[in-house]
With several copies, the nearest count.
Chain A
Amino acid sequence: MLNIKKALVPKAANQKHRDYIFQKKIYNFTIIFSQFFVLFALLVLWEWAARVGIINTFLTSQPTKVWNTILTLYENSTLFYHIRITILETGVSFILGTIIGTLIATILWWWKFLNKVMDPYLIILNSLPKVALGPLFIIIFGLGFKSIIAMALAISVISTTIIVLSGFTNVDNNYLKLVKTFGASKYTTFTKIILPASIPTIASALRVSLSLSWVGVVVGEFLTGRAGLGYLAIYGGQTYQMDLVITSVVLLAICSAISYQILVFAEKKIQKRYS
């Protein structure tokens, strides 16, 4: 027992500390184990229920079928094609959404009067269910890529603007007083203080913007996609291939979770530097 501990915890200040670290490690291991166990149990339960016939696989598919669908897509070499399309669309709308949102926020910060005038409209636009506007986008932006991006932007830009603007206005007033004693212009104040001081807020706006971009792209592909995971889902539904629907949902979940994690990681680095 002692040797196992020593092997697992080579570095420790003393025996008590080793016990402590050992317990921590066991605890962490139990957590990770449980996480995998939950996943595994769900999959097994699903598969079992499907095989025994408790659930109708035509409706809910089953893990092995989903896996086979993924393999088939891979062999068709369409798997990464669809994933790439959706990621590309999401990436473009995410970046555009963040830039546009920050720009609008900048304008509203600069021109307070406009800010006040636009205030109720921002609230209305924010609470407007943008999904209902789908057909309008097709009219304005035509079919395909542009409409999808427009849908995603419609969904993400206002939220981004509101968060970034609140970041701008919440910058500690004392910083503004400080640069005022140096005789700073509005432009200098913005570039030297407001913008860098808001980077943590902008970083957290990114999270919202990212998840809304995913939603927007999926809705956009429902509307007028020719490829991508959202298209796969709606095509699967149209042709009664629930396997395909579930597969694309699973793939979407994986992609968006990964992108989210990357963002959180980047955000932590930024937060560390900027606050």
Chain B
Amino acid sequence: GCKENDVESMPKVRVSEVIHSVFYAPQYVALHKGYFEDEGLDVELAIAWGADRGAAALLSNSADIALFGPEAAVYIAREQTDTKLVGFAQLTQKDGSFFLAREPMPEFEWTDVKGKTIIGGRPGGVPQMVQEYVLYHNDVVPHHDVEIIQNIDLGATAQAFENDVGDFVQLFEPGASIVENTGSGHVVASFGEAGGDIPYTVYHATDSYIEENPDIIQKFTNAIYRAQIWVDNHSAEEIAEVIQPSFAETDYDILVSSVERYKKQDTWSKDPILRKESLDKLQEICIFSEELDKKVPYEEIVKTKFAEEAVKSINID
């Protein structure tokens, strides 16, 4: 059951998200269905526009909890040891990007991209690393068998593709839906499916914050878990309806189709537990891309205690 909430002094929690995206639907569900309030938390959302800045926000104490990929915590653990960022609740378990071609390719094989050009992401970013990893494991050597354009700002990749740059493009939602709508691109593969389970976005806090505020962390994890359950049990339309206020500027139909696509490939974790195997996989991908030389121990950057507690205490109704 839920803990008692003290309306008088709801602790304020400053949460930062990487970008503002349907990809994090359960978070908005928790927000709009009042799960945070139920738990007695006053959540204030901020956008960092980048995982690096989300991590910086935690380190500089301008956010209490930040949502980003655990690779940032890995890098930081590699660089220095005084402050550790610890992931305590996983939100998404798959890469959220899709692979689009110019023509529909029902029989798409990864080897079809040989000799072609792909618009990718910035070097060092997880989407790019996952792409290279997937390509490599499907017998395509990145940058050798295929040309990858990496110098385009994230906000301009779809436009560049529309403007006849490249043969394939890697896009997040709602970009993929929008490009499909214009008819100039067609989703041929999903990196979520191809890449398998990895801890793509995880809520982090500094180790000291977790130590000092175990209550808050627990309540927050509970709310997220409840939202994950709700999302799992409802249709794309229902989800879109709930999160619409956070996406007032986006067309409702696009919203539904984006949610649908994510839902279909099991993007959202069923529970907030970050498992060792999937972190290992992420680290492998980083090592593969030569952004990391050796793995950081799982225990150093992950605490599953709160997630496990949430799973135990909350019954699926």
Using CB atoms and an 8 Å cutoff, list the residues of chain A in contact with chain B.
Answer: 53, 56-59, 69, 72-73, 76, 78, 134-135, 138-144, 222-226, 231-232, 234-242, 244
What residues on A are CB-neighbors of B175 within 8 Å? 239-240
Contact status A78-B47, CB under 8 Å: no
- Closest Cβ of chain B to A112, distance in Å, is 37
Q: Which residues of B in the span 171-218 have a Cβ within 8 Å of any Cβ on A?
A: 171, 174-175, 178-179, 182, 184
- Identify B56's interface contact among A73, A138, A226, A232, CB under 8 A: A138
Is the pair A139, B159 in contact by a Cβ cutoff of 8 Å? yes
Q: In the complex, what distance in Å separates the CA atom of A91 from the CA atom of B152? A: 23
Residue contact A235 to B52, C-beta cutoff 8 Å? no
The chain B residues found within 8 Å of chain A, CB to CB, are 14, 16, 19-21, 45-50, 52-53, 55-57, 59-63, 72, 75-76, 79-80, 82-83, 122-125, 149, 151-156, 158-160, 162-163, 165, 171, 174-175, 178-179, 182, 184, 248-250, 291
A222 near B151 with CB under 8 A, answer no
Q: Nearest CB to that of A55 among chain B residues? A: B60
A232 vs B116: C-alpha distance in the bound complex, in angstroms? 27
B48 touches A138 (CB 8 A): yes
CB neighbours (8 Å) of B160 from chain A are: 138-139, 143
Contacts of B162 in A (CB 8 A): 56, 58-59, 139
How many residue pairs link A and B with beta carbons under 8 A? The number is 175
What CA separation (Å) do A76 and B249 show in the bound complex?
A: 9
A101 smallest CB distance to B (angstroms): 26
In this complex, the member of A69, A139, A234 whose beta carbon has the largest number of chain B beta carbons within 10 angstroms is A139
Most buried by A among B61, B149, B163, B291: B163
| A139 and B55 contact, CB distance less than 8 A | no
| A interface: dominant SS | helix
B152 to nearest A CB, angstroms?
6
CB-based contact B53/A224 at 8 Å? yes
The reply to whether B62 and A239 form a contact with Cβ atoms under 8 Å apart is no
6 shortest A-B CB distances, which residue pairs? A142-B62, A237-B155, A239-B124, A143-B46, A240-B158, A240-B175
> In the complex the two chains form, what is the Cα distance from A45 to B107 in whole Å?
42
How far does the alpha carbon of A134 sit from the alpha carbon of B159 in the complex, in Å? 11
Residue of A nearest to B44 (CB): A144
Q: Which of B83, B156, B250 contacts A224 (CB 8 A)?
A: B156
Q: A58-B182, A237-B155 are in contact. Are A224 and B47 (CB under 8 A)?
A: yes
> In whole angstroms, what is the CA distance A229 to B253 when docked?
24
> CA A183 – CA B80 in complex, angstroms?
63
Looking at the complex, which one of A69, A225, A232, A237 makes contact with B52 (CB distance below 8 Å)? Answer: A237
- In the complex formed, the residue of A with least CB distance to B291 is A239
CB-CB under 8 A from B45, the residues of chain A are 226
A222 touches B153 (CB 8 A): yes
Asked if A223 and B49 sit within 8 Å, CB to CB, the answer is yes
A135-B155, A138-B152, A142-B63 known; A232-B50 Cβ under 8 A? no
Taking the closest CB of chain B, its distance from the CB of A145, in whole angstroms, is 10
| CB-contact partner of B49 in A72, A224, A241, under 8 A | A224
Give the CA-CA distance A237 to B149 in the complex, in Å: 19
Residues from chain B with a CB closer than 8 A to the CB of A236 are 249
Shortest distance in angstroms between B262's beta carbon and chain A's nearest beta carbon? 14
**Chain A residues, Cβ within 8 Å of B61:** 142
Is B53 a contact partner of A240 (Cβ separation < 8 A)? no
The CA-CA distance from A69 to B251 in the complex, in Å, is 10
Q: Does B250 contact A241, Cβ atoms closer than 8 Å?
A: yes
Q: Is the CB of B60 within 8 A of A238?
A: no
CB of A134 within 8 A of CB of B155, answer yes
- Given known pairs A238-B20, A240-B158, the reply for A143 and B179 (CB within 8 Å) is no
Question: With the chains together, A128 CA to B255 CA distance in Å?
Answer: 31
Distance, CA A134 to CA B155, complexed state (A): 9
Q: Does B184 lie within 8 Å of A58, measured CB to CB?
A: yes
* A139 and B163 contacting across the interface, CB-CB below 8 Å: yes
Q: How far is the CB of B258 from chain A (nearest CB, A)?
A: 9
Known: A58-B80, A144-B151, A238-B49. 8 other contacts (CB 8 A): A56-B59, A134-B153, A139-B59, A142-B14, A235-B20, A239-B123, A240-B76, A240-B155
Once the chains are docked, how many angstroms separate the CA of A241 from the CA of B162?
13
Find B174's partner among A72, A223, A226, A240 (CB 8 Å cutoff). Answer: A240
Complex CA–CA separation, A196 to B20 (angstroms): 49
Q: Which residues of B contact A76 (CB under 8 A)?
A: 248-249
Bound complex: CA A53 to CA B16 (Å): 25
